[in-house]
Structure 1
Amino acid sequence: MDKSKPLFEAKEGELKRAKLDSTGSFHIQAQAIIEASYALSYPIARDEKPHTTGETLVKPCLLECTKIILGDTAAQKIADLSLSDSTVKSRIDDMSANIKRQVIGKIKSSPMFAIQLDESTDVASISQLMVFARYVHRETIEEEFMFCSPLTETTTAADVMNLVSEFFGKEHLDWGKLIGVCTNGAPAMLGCHAGFAQLVKEKNPLVVSTHCFIYRQTLAAKTLPKGLQEHLSSVIKVVNFIKGSALQTRLFHKLCEDMDAVHSSLLFHSEVRWLSMGNMFLRFFNLRAEVNEFLKTHNKPKLLASMQVEGFHQCLAYLVDIFASINEVNTKMQGKDRNVLNVTDSINAFKDKLKLWVERLATGNLRVSFPVLHSLVDMKAPSAFSLTDIKHHLNSLIAEFERYFPKLDPRTEQLMSLTRDPLKHLCIKR
């Protein structure tokens, strides 16, 4: 206790200067480092990179570049930047919570909003419920991701409703402002008595429920007559044989390189994304000569015989054309700016195209409707190709699309027409 008072006062001054000088530069520097930490955590989250990327890759690169360009003094400032996995996780959580607050705030301030639900199983076999919201903000319609929550046990409509109700209650969202619900084709979503949409109407009877257009289009496109279905099965068997093992895949890749093919591998298709079959057909069609040679080399007479059935290549070319058109419609219905008006227009236009194609097919006109099939038929004798299966398929598609997308009632059609062109109706009324 023999220290003098001035000594302690001097120590106090040193500590104050070390923490915060009179200009506040230390505070500004610390704030800049935190802001930089958020700025670097954002691309890690956006690109779905591991949280350790910041500490193991980003920061060492920053230190080395800063040391070379700006010197050791500037590099020392970068060394204070924290990018550990726990820090990056914390920054991502903060940004996620901030975005959520903004979205919820916009929904609350909107005079009305609608939600869209999708329930699917991830790679860990856990059922995930995703909910999107569409609302009015600054006189424009915006669409944002609302929340995602796992269904840990059963996936009934009541379970989905409990999760949505819990979120609405926690965020103090008004069921009275909910005007629309769009659901996918999961069993929990469907049903006029026990489905999710019906449970929502118990909260708000004025809610309008719709079934996902893309899911309905997929169901309608799955219709194939027996002849085309047999050719489809043959293609799948051949693709599975070639892609079924790593050795077969490498050998086919080498064969394609030796034959100077445009592609070097076939494609699988997924039942979850059934329209990916169009890509599989196109790749198979482009590599049909290489596939034929591969099957000969590996002594697969049954698979080879299935590809040599009369009309196989013509039907394959038709499937390439028709699925390309279906995929084009599917793509038009996706995106943030899609709504019931332009999606309905796309479906109606495709239904009209199908009817026109049937008429052209009756006259043998394939050039515009089915370009791949037309190019193949030109190289073959027309008498060797039967159009029966194709006519049957087109008529089946028309019937299925009419079933899944029936004509709207006059009142709904009038409302949609008024929404498309309100000035026209105003002039007619006058």
Structure 2
Amino acid sequence: MTPPSGSPATATEKMRASLKRRYAAERRFQAYGIVAILLALGMLVTLFATIISTGTSAFVQHTVRLDVTLFPQDIDPDGTRDPAVLRRANYQTTINDALYSLFPEATSRQDRRAVRDLVSSGANFVVRDMVLADPSLVGQRISVRVPLASEFDQVLKGNVDPAVDLGVIREASTSVPWSLPPDERLISETQADYLQQLVRQGEIEGSFNRWFFTNGDSRQPELAGIWGAAVGSFFTLVVTLALSFPIGVAAAVYLEEFAPKNRWTDIIEVNINNLAAVPSIVFGLLGLAVFLQFFGLPRSAPVVGGLVLTLMTLPTIIIASRAALKSVPPSIREAALGVGASKLQTITHHVLPLAMPGMLTGTIIGMAQALGETAPLLMIGMVAFVVDIPGSPLDSATVLPVQIFLWSDSPERGFTERTSAAIMCLLGFLIFMNAAAVLLRKRFERRW
């Protein structure tokens, strides 16, 4: 017998059905959230795995051992050991002679060119630096390791042909067992035979790529490094921190503690909040128009980059500093004023020390944001090809994000791995700065 529609039993069944639908909807919503989290984690893992797998090989550089004779008539004919003379000497001839001695069968002009192409065009700088560090080497026969050219380095790493690497070349009974057709190979058959001969003689060795961390930018991938961009980023962040932190904290203290609450301060607060959401390239356009064209500051200099990034990070620091000031209990201010402290003494002696952890956290987050910015720095000319290491904030320089942008646009396979390696270094800096912000907050934060 079916109960009447208005009976308590019917109402109970409707309520149970409604609860069942709600619980089912809640379970579906939780499932959607879990799927979304898993998808996001999967994408992040894929991204990091791709970057790491591509960039890890950049930390290894293959070198070849050469026995170089530093003839005095070629290096220092006058015997003065003058650093200027040693720096201008022709070291490439000595390297070429050492290469020819390894391959006496290479007699034709074409074969000798193939031999010369085995090593980097910057190998002479390695020998030059050794002579400048120890001029007594002139006249001696020394053993030196110079970097292979990028094409051969990529072959030995298996980045060009996955079936070919250092071990395969060493164990091959005859010639290099290419799996790619001849038109897709990075080196010629003659060069592959020369490379295999060096590998079997034990002249080639893969070691930690110190040049990646000590050199500036270069046209040759095997010589390109991040040190110039890292120094440029350091100078840029120093200028940014020196300007944005005191200005941002002072602005936050005034707006939160001293400024009257009227229409003008409301307009200022709204504009500060809006500036935090302005695209970064707008600040680059502002820096181009004001700092470069109006004030005539040097283009592509860290001081200009620091000024532009100061404008960009100020809203973030002001907002974080105001939030830190608001978190200080009013009783602290009332107690200080009650014992006769002035308004300024109350702020500087009591409120600011308690709010400083939050201010430092916001500043570090702002600096991490500035470290990863590219667009505003492109607008002020920090995209220039800079080989020398900057010595001051007024020298021409680039920064790590712009260096990554430049390398990613290069067609050579060697720059592909260096792009990923530079991204790994940049992510390491960002993770370190964000971890420092979290540790500072946990170490000094007080809960009321």
**TM band (smaller chain):** under 0.3
Tell me the TM-score normalized by structure 2.
Answer: 0.23
Q: Comparing both structures, which one devotes a greater share of its residues to strand?
A: 1
TM-score, structure 1 normalization = 0.23
Q: Which has the higher contact order (CA 8 A, sep 6+)?
A: 2
